[in-house]
Structure 1
Amino acid sequence: MSSKNAGFAAGLAGALDDAAPRPDAPTRLPIGALAQRSNRLAELASGSVVSRATELVDPARCRIWSEHNRDYDKLNEENCADLIETFKAAGRQEIEAIVRRVQGDPDIDFEVICGARRHWTVTWLRAHNYAEFRYLVEIRDLTDEEAFRISDLENRARRDLSDVERARDYLRALARHYGGSQKAMAERMKASEAWLSRYLDLARLPAALLDAFPNPHELKIGHVAPLKALLKPEERAARVLACAADLAKSRGEGSALSPQDVIRRLAASADAPKKSGSPKKSGSAGAKLITASSGAPLLRVDAKGRKELSLTLLLGGGGSRADAEAAIGALLDAHWPASPNAETA
């Protein structure tokens, strides 16, 4: 080996060492293949380039990570149509999925951390006359907590991942990776506790309540506040859940209800119907929930006798101040009409 080649080989080995210093600028520019290899070596040594292992693999040798936030069973030709057409047009998958190696399973080589839709799409294409397609993956060595955060960062801005899917993912991760500490989880996710809390509240809504919605995946975190307000106290929650069960049973009769329509019906069922006749002398004469057009609870009105009302502002119900002012105005008009002797304009 010539002295020049021996020197280059020694430099290559040294650059792959963790302790290798950044090479000084050469006094003259090398040429040809040696120039490209030397420049690449300098970039790797300086940390400006991160080298990761990518492979084209058989999707059948991959499984979806158990904590993946995508509901894989809900994927189909319709909601993956964009990827199917993109892959066909390009003749390949161009953005790699993120996987980690699986040990001890003779049938599986990789676990998919990010890229369930890409996995489903390549699998579908291979089964529909595109057998040459393979699954492009980037292989990483990740802990479960790191895998959760990477998956979340990739999917947080995606519109095709529902708030319900994301919320359930966060609730699972809270217990598995953060010991139930919402503060620790928010810090690791670089998010506010208030933002995270809204997703966790959505995930904690009773399954019986979600059954009232034709497609729970249409629910947004903005729907959480009005729904939570309907679940307290217990007797109100019982009426709301009974209404939810009725809505679930009647599904398919007529056109599907929007989330706002379902919330309005649940809100209307929240309070017990008024009894006919005179109210009891002791206790309330009945309560009434006033909601905005969106279904968000605004006011609770409790009648105490014939000449007294107790008004509760439901500040966390999700309604606007303008909605509340309009509701109060309508309440005054109904219970405190203008005096017949009042001057008119």
Structure 2
Amino acid sequence: MGNFVRDILTTLSYEPEPREVLHAEGEALSRLDQRLAGMVQGAGRSRTAISIRPADCSVWDGNPRDVPGLSVESCRSLIESIAQEDGNRIPVLVRHNPPEAEQPYQLLVGSRRRFAVDWLNHNGRPEIRLNAMIVDLSDEEAFRLADIENRERQDITELDRARSYQAAVDRFYNGVQSRMAEALNLSNSQLSRLLALAQMPDEVVEAFATREELRVRHSEVLTPLLRRPEQRERLIFAARAIGQDQQRRAATGERMIPAAAVLTRLKQAAQEGTPARNSETPLVLEEERVGRLRPVRDGLTLDLTVGRDTDLDRLLALVRSAVLEARARFAADDPRD
């Protein structure tokens, strides 16, 4: 079985190719899925696959998928399909765990299928088992195989993929990026951009409405600013304020700040600098300047341009956030404190 999977590693392209959209188990088939399904159908399941319980396998920590992030909602169509077919038609890939491990197997590929079968086992279908193939692969080969599958999955965020690459550089390639790029069929620049995304500070990540919204193209803009100490400090200061605003919006059900607006505000904070006590703060809503906040002797003064179609709730939330940020900044600068 190891030879078959190694053949997949050498013959499957990493980049998506034009092809018909095939569906099975409630989702589009990746090319890895097609190869695995074809093998099972051609050779006979009894000779190529085993049936195990989801609890029989631990999840390998080298897979970039955020397993705790899987949910019934995100796997709904897969759960329904597996229930109808009395099992997963496309097998998961596992390898033997060391003898001292609690579970006999380690899951390499198929986190969603394992989740779906486990959910069904606990919700009225205890008889369904997880169809699996046992393979003999090194950690580096297992990482490449999981990467092939996950590049075609829309529910793997660029951030999760980037962070898995960051961990893999040292773990599998002795810290040599060029070796990793060659193994994954990536250019050095592609890999460098992904690794830069992985290094985004937590404050920046939390400034975006969801992890999915933070993309490589955003880190390409922010990375040069984060490399300069003064700009980094200002950018992270602004990111904290935006993140707090996002949390408040999420708690109250308001519309979240879109990624484009977050990027604009972070750029402006880094490039324009933290406003001094005698300078103004521009107010930007969806990449358009709608006003300014200026310090005066006894406090702050506000100038606004309210258009006919301006979302008043969002405008007021922006003003509130800017005022709180200005108050905090002035308090930190006050020599009497």
TM-score by length of 1: 0.63
Which residue is equivalent to 1:252? 248
> Superposition pairs for residues 169-318 of structure 1, below 5 Å?
169-250=164-245, 251-253=247-249, 254-270=254-270, 271-272=272-273
**CA 206–275 in structure 1, closer or farther in 2 if over 3 Å, else same:** closer
Distance in 1 between residues matched to 2:135 and 2:65, nearest whole Å: 20
Paired residues, what number?
237
Structure 1 segments (4+ residues) deviating >4 Å: 48-52, 273-277
Q: 1:168 aligns with which of 138, 163, 170?
A: 163
Displacement of 1:107 after TM fit? 3.2
Separation (CA, whole Å) in 1 of partners of 2:142 and 2:277: 60
Distance change in 2, residues 1:206/1:273 (3 Å): closer
Q: 1:76 aligns with which of 56, 71, 76?
A: 71
Query: In the superposition, relative to structure 1, how do residues 221 and 50 fare at CA in structure 2: closer, same or farther (>3 Å)?
Result: farther
Write the distance in 2 (CA, Å) between the matches of 1:164 and 1:177. Answer: 19
Residue 113 to residue 274, structure 1, CA distance change in 2 (3 Å): closer
Equivalent residue for 1:342? none
Q: Distance in 2 between matches of 1:275 and 1:151?
A: 50
Residue 144 (1) aligns with residue 145 (2): no
List runs of 5+ in structure 2 lacking aligned partners.
1-41, 289-337
Q: Judge conservation of contact 1:162–1:217 (CA < 8 Å) in 2.
A: yes
CA shift, 1:276, in A, is 8.7
Quick one: higher RCO (CA 8 Å, sep 6+), 1 or 2? 2
Cα separation, 2, equivalents of 1:134 and 1:176: 33
Taking the TM superposition and a 5 Å limit, the aligned residue runs for 1:330-345 are: none
Contact 1:219–1:259 (CA under 8 A) maintained in structure 2: yes
- TM-score relative to the length of structure 2: 0.65
Q: 1: distance between equivalents of 2:97 and 2:44? A: 23
Q: Residue 71 of structure 1 aligns to which amino acid in structure 2? A: D
Residue 158 of structure 1, CA deviation: 1.3
Q: How far apart are the structure 1 equivalents of 2:213 and 2:275?
A: 33
- Residue 95 of structure 1 is matched in structure 2 by 90
Aligned position for 2:325: none
In 2, the alpha carbon distance for the partners of 1:65 and 1:146 equals 13
* 1:57/1:273 CA distance change after superposition, 3 Å: closer
Contact 1:165-1:217 within 8 A present in 2 as well: no
CA distance in 2, matches of 1:111, 1:263: 40
Bigger shift: residues 214-223 or 185-194: 214-223
Amino acid at match of 1:260: A
**Inter-partner Cα distance in structure 2 for 1:189 and 1:106:** 30
Larger radius of gyration: 1
